[in-house]
A = this chain, B = another copy of it.
Amino acid sequence: MSLDAVLSHIDATLPEAIDRLIALLRIPSISTDPAYKDDCARAADWLTEDLKTLGFDARSAPTPGHPMVVGHGGTGNRHILFYGHYDVQPVDPLSLWHSDPFDPQLEDTPKGRVIRARGASDDKGQLMTFIEACRAWKAVHGTLPGKLTIFLEGEEESGSPSLIPFMEANRAELTASLALICDTGLYEDRLPAISTQLRGLAKSEFTIHAASRDLHSGAYGGLARNPLHVMAQLLADLHDAEGRVMVPRFYDDVEELSDKLRQQWQGLAFNHAAYLGDVGLSIPAGEQDRTPLEMLWSRPTAEVNGMWGGYNGAGFKTVLPAEVHAKVSFRLVSRQDPAKVLQSFRTWAEARIPADCRIAWHDEIEGSPASVMSIADPAFEAARAALTEEWGRPAVFIGEGGSIPIAGYFKSILGMDAMLVGFAKDDDQIHSPNEKYDVESFHKGIRSWARILERIA
């Protein structure tokens, strides 16, 4: 069987694949620090050259920031785009690293062999799983496994300033029928997962103004409005006692979980006590008639992310401040429209404050809607079967509580769904000192992509 030959080739050439990853990891492509600008370009060039050796028509495309790597190759009925990013997080505090973050080390640990370096997991190790799968396929078959576009960004860790303009300027070139994104993790040890829905996000920052100046609570306290009380009341009223968000029409566009996903999620036996216990908590705090996984993945939220007003220095100042501030964000699901949610919130808030106060809004009304993939696309079940075969445990469709902006951009700018498959583990210490990627993640990741591409491309 041809797939078996590819898998065998992957097994036999793993040492060389690791060497290539190590070579890429040696390049300190920290995108947020201008001192590493040349290194980012160098990483892009390294990847471009590597893709060319596989027969991709590849280039390092300049942007106002760091270059994009774009490569096209192969033939097939279905055009698949693969996304990853070659830039990495800064490494400070350097003193907490046990070895040079850009001198990759192969280490044997009680949990297995790991590759330790900045970017080993996020995202150089992950993106190379896909490229190595292509390489093995090419070695065995002489061709790429399908009509592929590789699209690698160099600004993911620094806010992706060039991403939207680049996608808009290269719409035709980048539009495929499905995007694959390798920047997520296993659901748990050796249990692969495909993220099929990501919550969206809407953000609101505002100030409640009361008196024209700070007031002394001796001279005014009891008579004058204290905006700290107004803010506390407003934010307290944001939820009812059962954890429901009280902004009118907030739930209008929220869909119930499908029976299929509900059943899969139940199968995950999510241990919320352990999940909360890890951070010192014990009580699920969301909508009380929902399961913990629904609270995290499929239900929208309203969360205060900051509030501040009055005196916060040492000692006391008995002040009634003139103003108080808050930042509130909404995690969105299903078809919730960020603009509509923010507008409802504004209207609701303004109707609730006393007539001698006013609210100044500091944000534009914008945000990103949830990403909900059409899992009716047979590629999703095909990928699930492929992952199940590789890992020996039934792969699962999961949700993500957070947003992964690139998935939203693929949908909104290029009109394509994304399938998020990744092999990172919770203990990879991404963004932290001593980042690592399990050799098993790398090896089985390559094999996973070979199996997935064999089925969908």
A residues within 8 Å of B by Cβ? 199, 201, 203, 205, 210-213, 215-226, 228-229, 231-239, 272, 275-276, 279-287, 292, 295-296, 299-301, 303-312, 316-321, 324-325, 327, 329, 331, 354-356, 400-403
CB neighbours (8 Å) of A239 from chain B are: 229
Q: How far is the CB of A224 from chain B (nearest CB, A)?
A: 6
Q: How far is the CA of A137 from the CA of B316 in the complex (A)?
A: 44
Return the 5 tightest CB-CB contacts between A and B, nearest first: A218-B402, A212-B280, A306-B310, A236-B236, A232-B235
Q: Is the CB of A401 within 8 A of B295?
A: no
CB neighbours (8 Å) of A232 from chain B are: 231-236, 238, 304, 307
Nearest residue (CB) in B for A201 is B318
Q: Is the CB of B327 within 8 A of A295?
A: no
**Told that A201-B318, A312-B325 touch, could you supply 17 new A-B pairs with CB distance under 8 A?**
A217-B301, A217-B402, A220-B296, A221-B303, A222-B286, A222-B287, A223-B285, A224-B281, A224-B285, A232-B236, A232-B238, A283-B354, A283-B355, A303-B318, A308-B308, A308-B310, A311-B327
Q: Is the CB of B222 within 8 A of A331?
A: yes
Q: Is the CB of B308 within 8 A of A318?
A: no
Q: List 15 interface pairs A-B (beta carbons < 8 Å), by A numbering.
A: A213-B280, A221-B401, A223-B276, A224-B281, A228-B303, A228-B304, A228-B305, A229-B285, A229-B304, A232-B234, A232-B304, A305-B311, A306-B310, A306-B311, A307-B307
Q: A212-B280, A308-B309 are in contact. Are A301 and B221 (CB under 8 A)?
A: yes
Chain A interface, DSSP helix/strand/loop, else mixed: mixed
Q: Is the CB of A316 within 8 A of B329?
A: yes
Q: Is the CB of B296 within 8 A of A222?
A: yes
Q: Is the CB of A219 within 8 A of B401?
A: yes
CB neighbours (8 Å) of A310 from chain B are: 304-308, 327
Specify which of B231, B306, B354 is in contact with A309 (CB 8 Å cutoff): B306
Q: Is the CB of B305 within 8 A of A307?
A: no
CB neighbours (8 Å) of A295 from chain B are: 222-223
Specify which of B213, B296, B301, B325 is in contact with A279 (CB 8 Å cutoff): B213
Q: Is the CB of A320 within 8 A of B306?
A: no
Q: Is the CB of A281 within 8 A of B210?
A: yes
Q: Is the CB of A331 within 8 A of B217?
A: yes
Q: Is the CB of A318 within 8 A of B304?
A: no
Q: How far is the CA of A319 from the CA of B295 in the complex (A)?
A: 16
Q: How far is the CA of A300 from the CA of B223 in the complex (A)?
A: 11
Q: How far is the CB of A263 from chain B (nearest CB, A)?
A: 20
Q: A279-B212, A285-B354, A327-B311 are in contact. Are A299 and B235 (CB under 8 A)?
A: no
Q: Is the CB of B223 within 8 A of A229?
A: no
Q: How far is the CA of A310 from the CA of B303 in the complex (A)?
A: 11
Q: Is the CB of A279 within 8 A of B218?
A: no
Q: How far is the CA of A342 from the CA of B151 in the complex (A)?
A: 62
Q: How far is the CA of A217 from the CA of B355 in the complex (A)?
A: 33
Q: How far is the CB of A365 from chain B (nearest CB, A)?
A: 14
CB neighbours (8 Å) of A401 from chain B are: 217-223
Q: How far is the CB of A139 from chain B (nearest CB, A)?
A: 39
Q: How far is the CA of A31 from the CA of B341 in the complex (A)?
A: 55
CB neighbours (8 Å) of A233 from chain B are: 232, 236
Q: How far is the CB of A223 from chain B (nearest CB, A)?
A: 4
Specify which of B316, B325, B355, B400 is in contact with A305 (CB 8 Å cutoff): B316
